[in-house]
């Protein structure tokens, strides 16, 4: 029986190409819009199927050669075979289609994607999985659909160069370490002030780990701080060096000094600092903040937006559920001498309800929730009756759901700006402005 032949129409959130076989939607990994391919069906579902490429009959003009030698095996990047302009076009289309389906937002309200100036070498934070057995050490990423580690022997092309330098040093140190089987992960964070490594282990032989890595402190290259952590430790134990990881964000007035923001080892920060700055610029532009505005920043993290925006508004209140992030936000507030901001550790939905009960009011609400979105907090946000809501999202589906909920409560999408925070992947960051009707 001949294999079906199809032309890939577009890319979907999740990374797969989309075509039709006998009228049924088919998802095809590592395909490119415009590819003519013969397919081998791998799974049949009621409303769709999946297939692998048996042969590329006519490659798409948007196809390009992947940079990474383990692309396709590694579970990280999935679009290195797609030219960068085509990636941007597909991301805008995915965002536009998703929020039209979920909230009936017209496509003409979606801006072009803010491109990244560097499509490789941009990530300042990475977690490398470690596997040792049969005399072979693997440090890299899980293979597609498995928990087997694909060895990134040459480093990771999307990582900042200094991360790859430190990774090579870590590999050399671990290669000769007899207790390497107890190491599961290396977390490497690169900031303006240095590079911090957190070694994750299973809790066995902690004293041996300490002595070995302290003795080898001179072998970690440009690493400026080393931590040891088990899964049941909320914070890692510092073995040597500095724990400081910092980066800079712009104030609105170019003549003012930049703010310096820090976060703890293993804590959360955006992985693409240049695009983080771009996102702040979009938030600032869409928000149109004034010196009389009272701003509420939900899921505020370490004050990533709150601290640089504080000088532009009358006051800022930040709420975040992660205690380490709130401690970092308070430290950053003091570091930058910000007097008109306050940060509170609370579940965001309950924190908003508390503000409602206190009779607080805000001119603008800024939120940057996790992939699960802000569903539980939406009703409370509406009760605060802000004039505008600025919603930073990393997931088009939950953004669409929440915009639909807000639309039913009298808020309309004015503009949505996609930002390419993660080149070579399907992930889409965006900032959306909603205003009260």
**Could you tell me the pTM of the whole model?**
0.94
Q: pLDDT of 349-371, one tens digit each?
A: 999 999 999 999 999 999 999 99
Q: pLDDT of 143-170, one tens digit each?
A: 988 899 999 999 999 999 999 999 999 9
Residue 380, phi then psi, degrees to nearest 5: -70, -40
Q: Is the pLDDT of residue 215 over 80?
A: yes
Task: Tell me the catalytic residues.
Answer: 394
Report pLDDT for 255.
Answer: 60
Question: Can 5-63 and 125-243 be said to share one CATH topology?
Answer: yes
Contact status, residue 102 vs residue 401, Cβ threshold 8 Å: yes
Q: Is the pLDDT of residue 60 over 80?
A: yes
CA dist., res. 159 & res. 136, Å (int): 24
In CATH terms, the superfamily for domain 5-63 is Nucleic acid-binding proteins (2.40.50.140)
Q: pLDDT of 180-190, one tens digit each?
A: 999 999 999 99
Average pLDDT over residues 300-322: 97
CATH value of 125-243 in 2.40.50.1070, 3.40.50.300, 1.10.20.140, 3.30.710.10: 2.40.50.1070
Report pLDDT for 135.
Answer: 80
Record the tokens describing residue 313, joined without a space. 């508004």
Average pLDDT over residues 117-124: 97
Average pLDDT over residues 300-310: 97
> Which is higher by pLDDT, 134 or 180?
180
CA dist., res. 188 & res. 155, Å (int): 12
From 204, 130, 121, select the one nearest 171 (Cα to Cα).
130
From 330, 332, 365, 334, select the one nearest 348 (Cα to Cα).
365
Residue 161, phi then psi, degrees to nearest 5: -55, -35
Q: Is the pLDDT of residue 117 over 70?
A: yes
Tell me the CA distances in angstroms from 209 to 81, 137, 197, 266, one per residue in order: 41, 17, 14, 19
Give me the residue spans of the domains in the chain: 5-63, 89-117+272-436, 125-243
Confidence band of 85 (pLDDT split at 50, 70, 90): very high
Q: Is CATH 3.40.50.150 what the domain over 89-117+272-436 is classified as, yes or no? A: yes
Report pLDDT for 119.
Answer: 96
Record the tokens describing residue 9, joined without a space. 């129409």
């Amino acid at each position: 029986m001949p294999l079906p032949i199809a032309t890939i129409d577009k890319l979907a959130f999740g990374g797969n190409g989309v075509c039709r076989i006998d009228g049924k939607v088919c998802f095809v990994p590592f395909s490119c819009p415009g590819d003519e391919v013969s397919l081998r069906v791998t799974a049949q579902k009621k409303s769709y199927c999946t297939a692998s490429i048996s042969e590329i009959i006519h490659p798409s003009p948007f196809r390009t050669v992947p940079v990474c030698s383990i692309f396709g095996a590694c579970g990280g990047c999935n679009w290195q075979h797609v030219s960068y302009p085509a990636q941007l076009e597909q991301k805008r289309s995915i965002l536009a289609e998703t929020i039209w389906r979920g909230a009936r937002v017209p496509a003409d309200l979606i801006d072009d994607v803010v491109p990244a100036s560097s499509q490789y070498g941009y990530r300042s934070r990475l977690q490398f999985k470690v596997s040792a057995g049969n005399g072979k050490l693997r440090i890299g990423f899980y293979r597609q659909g498995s928990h087997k580690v694909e060895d990134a022997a040459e480093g990771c092309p999307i990582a900042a160069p200094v991360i790859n330098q430190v990774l090579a040093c870590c590999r050399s140190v671990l290669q000769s370490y007899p207790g390497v089987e107890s190491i599961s992960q290396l977390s490497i964070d690169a900031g303006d002030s240095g590079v911090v490594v957190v070694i994750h282990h299973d809790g066995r032989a902690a004293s041996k780990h300490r002595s070995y890595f302290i003795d080898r402190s001179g072998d970690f290259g440009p690493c400026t701080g080393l931590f040891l952590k088990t899964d049941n430790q909320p914070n890692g134990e510092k073995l040597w060096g500095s724990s400081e990881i910092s980066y800079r964000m712009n104030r609105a007035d170019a003549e003012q000094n930049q703010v310096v923001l820090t976060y703890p080892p293993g804590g959360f920060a955006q992985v693409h600092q240049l695009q983080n700055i771009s996102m702040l610029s979009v938030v600032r532009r869409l928000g149109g903040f004034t010196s009389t505005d009272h701003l509420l920043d939900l899921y505020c993290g370490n004050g990533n937006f709150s601290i640089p925006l504080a000088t532009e508004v009358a006051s800022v209140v930040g709420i975040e559920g992660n205690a380490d992030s709130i401690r970092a936000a308070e430290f950053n507030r003091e570091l930058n001498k910000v007097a008109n901001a306050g940060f509170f550790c609370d579940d965001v939905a309950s924190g908003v309800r508390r503000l409602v009960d206190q009779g607080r009011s805000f001119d603008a609400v800024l939120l940057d929730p996790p992939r699960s979105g802000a569903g539980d907090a939406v009703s409370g946000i509406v009760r605060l009756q802000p004039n505008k809501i600025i919603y930073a999202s990393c997931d088009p589906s939950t953004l669409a759901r929440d915009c639909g909920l807000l639309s039913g409560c009298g808020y309309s999408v004015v503009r949505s700006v996609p930002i390419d925070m993660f080149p070579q992947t399907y992930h889409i960051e965006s900032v959306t402005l909603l205003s009260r009707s």
